[in-house]
Structure 1
């Protein structure tokens, strides 16, 4: 195995792209390549890559992909300069847990994205 890139299904892909741009992610690939009717995007920030796809785009091929709003998914993202990153986004997002030092030596905080997924950001000193 070489890498893992989650493909997360969302109800509003445009709102999701806007939210993740607040976090510094940019689109690296999309379907279609141009236009506003996106059904899939790959976004990256540094070495972190996440894909987002509409439920409708796979409804016929994989009807098992469904869920209610939100879900039991937490993305744990390591980064540097966590204090600066937190200060830059804290007033633009829903903060679930503010900056805190964990028993295992990481500084972390958690937010809720626009799809009710939890993102935990961590810096390990």
Structure 2
């Protein structure tokens, strides 16, 4: 195995891209590329990438894809300079769990993205 790239189902890809750009991600690919309403997109920051796709674009192909906003999973993202990153985004996002030092030595905080997915950012300090 070489990598894992979550493909997250969302209602509004443009809104989701705008949210992730606030976190420092850049749009690297989208379908279609001609400016029509997007059905898929990929964002990247460092070695972390997410793909976003509309439910409708896979409805016929994968009928078992169905859920409400959010999910029963957490995306754990390691980064450097967590304190300055937190200060830069804390007023732009919904913080679910403030900065804290964990028993295993990491400094972490958690936020909700615009689709109610939980993102936990961590740094081993």
Bin the TM-score by the shorter chain: over 0.9
Size of the aligned set, in residue pairs, is 125
**3-state SS of paired residue (1:28):** strand
Q: Give the distance between the partners of 1:8 and 1:62, measured in 2 at CA.
A: 14
- Which residue does 2:69 correspond to in 1? 69
Counterparts of 1:108-119 in structure 2 under 5 Å? 108-119=108-119
Q: Could you tell me which runs of 5 or more consecutive residues in structure 1 were left unpaired when the two chains were aligned.
A: none
Q: What's the offset of the Cα at 1:119?
A: 0.2
- The structure 1 segments of at least 4 consecutive aligned residues displaced by more than 2 Å after TM superposition are none
**RMSD (Å), alpha carbons:** 0.8
Q: Give the distance between the partners of 2:15 and 2:36, measured in 1 at CA.
A: 12
Counterparts of 1:71-86 in structure 2 under 5 Å? 71-86=71-86
Q: What's the offset of the Cα at 1:36?
A: 4.3
| 37-46 vs 68-77, which moves further | 68-77
Q: Give the distance between the partners of 1:27 and 1:38, measured in 2 at CA.
A: 12
Q: Could you tell me which runs of 5 or more consecutive residues in structure 2 were left unpaired when the two chains were aligned.
A: none
Alignment TM-score, normalising by the size of structure 1: 0.97
Q: Give the distance between the partners of 2:87 and 2:113, measured in 1 at CA.
A: 17
Listed one character per residue, the Cα deviations across residues 4-24 of structure 1 (whole Å, up to 9, x for unaligned) are 000000011111011001001
